[in-house]
Amino acid sequence: GNRDERKFENPDALIFDRDNARSHISFGFGIHRCFGNRLAEMQLQILWDEMLKRFSKIEVVAEPRRNFSSFVKGYTEMRVICRR
């Protein structure tokens, strides 16, 4: 999936501006695609639009902590510093 080195270079790194970022399968695929995926994408778009209006630099300052679950993959914590 999203960690396939044949699909994503350096798959375990958090890289927001990957060339192929939209080809992830975080929300499933086909008939098993998450019903709320578009809502989640819109919420993230709004979050980043508002953050980037307010801050010129957003820097990750510590290694993100991952959520280890067989059901949900993601992060439980990502510390950042936001600068104007």
The model's pLDDT over 43-75, given as tens digits with 9 standing for 90+, comes to: 989 999 999 999 999 999 999 998 887 777 778
Q: Where are the alpha helices (DSSP H) in 1-84?
A: 37-54
The model's pLDDT over 10-41, given as tens digits with 9 standing for 90+, comes to: 878 777 777 776 677 677 777 877 787 788 88
Question: What residue ranges do the domains of the chain occupy?
Answer: 21-83
pTM value > 0.85: no
For Cα atoms 15, 16, 22, give the angle at the middle one, nearest 5 degrees: 110
Residue pointed to by tokens 């501006």:
17
* Residue partners of 23: CB distance under 8 A and separation at least 6: 7
* Residue partners of 83: CB distance under 8 A and separation at least 6: 55, 56, 57, 58, 59
